[in-house]
Structures are given as C-alpha cells and as structure tokens.
Amino acid sequence: MPSPFPGMDPYLEVSRRWSDLHQRLITYISEYLQPQLRPKYIARIEERIQLATFDQRYVPDVQLLHTMREPAPTLELTSSVVVDEPMLITTLDEAVREPFIEIVARESGDLVTVIEVLSPANKVGKGREEYLQKQDDLTATEVNLVEIDLLGYGNETVLARKVGIVNPADWRYLIDISRGGRRNVLEVYAIPLRDRLPNCRIPLRPPDGDAVLDLTAVFNRCYDVGSYDLLIDYRKMPDVPLQEAEADWLQKHLQEKGLIPTQQEQQQ
C-alpha cells in the first residue's frame, strides 16, 4: 500500500519508527543509483560507529533489570561465609551505528560523493558536533556532499542552515548538494509537507553528468516494503512538532484520503 502523503510521511519522523526507515532509505537509495553508476562508479553502504558512555546522550531509555531466581553458586572456601546474591543488569548495545552512502570510482577507489540521510542523533548534542566536524572535513576536500534531512524538527544541521530560505516559506524538509569543485554554490531543495520529494541531482566526477535520485520512488518503496500502513494510526496526530498550517493541511488531506472522518461524518 502506498503512503497517503505525496512525499515524506510525518508519522515516520518519530524516533521509534525512524531507525527502520533510515536503514531502508540508505539501502534503497543505493539500490536505485547503482544501475546509473555502473560501470565507472560503485555505491557502497558504510557506517560510522560511535561508542556511547552512560554520561552521554546514548543512555538507553530502558535497562532490563532482574534478580537471580536461583541462589548464586558459592566457592568452596575454608570459611562458612555465604556469598550475597548480586542484581544482574543486562546492558544494551552501546555502539550506535549510522549508515551512509559513499560513491567511489571503480578503478582508483577514490571517494567521489558522500550521501548522508540525517537522523535525530545528528541534530542534537555531541552527535551534532561530530556530524558538523565530518561536514567540515568533507567540504575541505574535493568530495561532493549530498545531505538529505527528512526530519522537520531538531537543530538545523545541514549546510543549507547557513542560507536564508524564503521560497517556499513553508518548507519542512531540506536537501542540499555541495560540489567539490564549487563550494561557493550550494544547491538546495526546500520541500513543504504538502509536496512530493524531488528528483535530486547526485554529482559525480566531471566531466561525467549527474545521476538522478527519484526520492519519492525510493520513499514509496520503503513505505511499501516496511508495511508502515499497518503500524500507523492516522486517526491521531503525529507525535512530532507541526506548524499550524501543516497541521490544518494534514487533517484535511487525511480526510480526503478517507483515513479520518470529516466533521460532517463525525456528527452523523
């Protein structure tokens, strides 16, 4: 079943659903681009691994605690001291993995383009600082950078944050392209909630032309394969910040799609 929205679905911005969508976006973006890149380039999925400590942002929301059901075994010592039973704490995996896409030249192995799909961790605290450092490192090279921000909340992080975007005034999502050969020009797609996601340029190495990413098609594949229609209750407002105009449009749009009743239907 396709998404009821023309582009990004704000119900998938919530953190409990984002991780799954993020993995699918990375996978299907790579899948979509690969036929266009062959045989000169290869799209590879890489990942950053960040080790979290309990005093940083990655403290898990829930730790599983339980006590031992059977008495703890005791060592045979010369004394008669009985060992006290400890509480067992099952710790969660502290390694946070953030996948991204690298496009490399097949013959030389040179890195040509990096495609980042931002996550909530990239927009707050230490995760944002680390992402901005990587951003600075990449823009100091000849590598092309494509940033896809489909989260309508959090601190502004992509390069386009430095640009005052007034058209359209009601944009919610940002995609920007910084080419290695001309850092002084930033290509930006500013997308309102009501619009489809764009067909994005993905730069390669001159004189080769750009690849094209149909982001709406990729998102729809994620939605369909992920069976998100079975997870989302469209009768409730999404648990993410919305502008008043966005909330009004969303409600009317879902009524037109027959997913929530109109006021007239509620009165009947």
- Would you report the helix, strand and coil content of the chain in percent, each value rounded to 5? 30, 25, 45
Residue 213 — very low, low, confident or very high, per pLDDT cuts 50/70/90?
Answer: very high
Instruction: Break the chain into its structural domains and give their ranges.
Output: 10-53+90-261
Strand pairing category for 111-117 and 144-149: parallel
Task: Note the pLDDT tens digit of each residue in 28-83.
Answer: 999 999 999 999 999 999 987 655 443 333 333 333 333 333 343 444 445 567 77
Higher local confidence (pLDDT), 172 or 54 = 172
CA–CA distance, 180 with 192 (Å, rounded to integer): 28
How many CB atoms neighbour CB 206 within 10 A? 9
> Distance from first CA to last CA of the chain, Å, rounded?
29
State how far the Cα of 132 lies from the Cα of 241, in Å rounded to an integer.
24
Query: Amino acid identity, residue 223?
Result: Y
Residues 114-125: tens digit of each pLDDT: 999 999 999 989
Q: In sequence order, which residues have a C-beta less than 8 Å from that of residue 249 and are 6 or more positions away? A: 193, 194
